Chain A
Amino acid sequence: QKEVEQNSGPLSVPEGAIASLNCTYSDRGSQSFFWYRQYSGKSPELIMFIYSNGDKEDGRFTAQLNKASQYVSLLIRDSQPSDSATYLCALGGNKLIFGAGTRLAVHP
Chain B
Amino acid sequence: SYELTQPPSVSVSPGQAASITCSGDKLGDRYASWYQQKPGQSPVVVIYQDMRRPSGIPERFSGSNSGNTATLTISGTQAMDEADYYCQAWASGTVVFGGGTKLTVL
Partners in one complex: no
